[in-house]
Structure 1
């Protein structure tokens, strides 16, 4: 079975953690900075936290709709992404989502969150990896 590509994001980054990133459509145009540097800009960990929490809330809304549940307007997700440096493994990330569903029964909330975690593309990537490749762009 072949998957249908729904969208492809194109972002050009120059300067790494001290540089800038801009999307091909101009909707994203940001300065980057190293965590804790107090320089203007965001960092990859914050971008991942924002992306995962936004994607997860979308998955949560989809699951709720399928189950006939109305999510409260105060539904919120706090994402935490930690950058670590280990002796053997080098740099690596750990991440958590804290989901708030005020007014929803705890058992129902757990079901919604579990099903959203099983369907959210970011959650799938975080749990099982992502098919990825890196290619060298050779200047002509």
Structure 2
């Protein structure tokens, strides 16, 4: 992998492809995976879009909480990530689009948007998506996500 220094490392494995099982190497998580019904699958398991949405919302919210703590800000942050699989006319395949809805309990939307924009610049998932995936970020009222 690029660079030999790291803070954290994890590994995941998929066996059986789109009708198989995915699991973490440490044994802490395992799940059935399937294509979503829109792609002809049963939808009875998770799919890569589900994993991306879970990972991105968690990473973004962890980063937002870290920034809030560093600035002495109070409030409960919440991030909802919507992942879309879209047709990609450049290669007749697929591409991703992501929408992050960010709220902080008790904080006005303008301040939330400013924090969300700064979080986007610092979040590891956002850095990985930069120049590759269309990502939009919107501050919303906390109660609309709860």
> Structures share a fold, TM > 0.5?
yes
RMSD of equivalent CA atoms: 1.7
Q: What does residue 78 of structure 1 align with?
A: 80
Q: What does residue 104 of structure 1 align with?
A: 107
Query: What per-residue deviation string (whole Å, max 9, x for no partner) do you get for residues 69-105 of structure 1?
Result: 0123xx3211111112233232111111111223202
Which runs of 4 or more aligned residues in structure 1 lie more than 6 Å from their structure 2 counterparts after TM superposition? none
The two structures have a TM-score, normalised by structure 2, of 0.78
Q: What does residue 120 of structure 1 align with?
A: 123
Q: What does residue 62 of structure 1 align with?
A: 66
User: Does residue 11 of the first structure (1) align with residue 12 of the second (2)?
Assistant: yes
Local SS of the residue matching 1:7: coil
Count matched residues: 126
Q: What does residue 95 of structure 1 align with?
A: 98
> Gaps (5+ residues) in structure 1?
130-140
> Gaps (5+ residues) in structure 2?
133-146
The two structures have a TM-score, normalised by structure 1, of 0.81
Question: 1 or 2, which has the higher strand percentage?
Answer: 2
Retained in 2: the 8 A contact 1:61–1:71? Answer: no
The Cα of 1:3 is off from its aligned counterpart by: 7.0
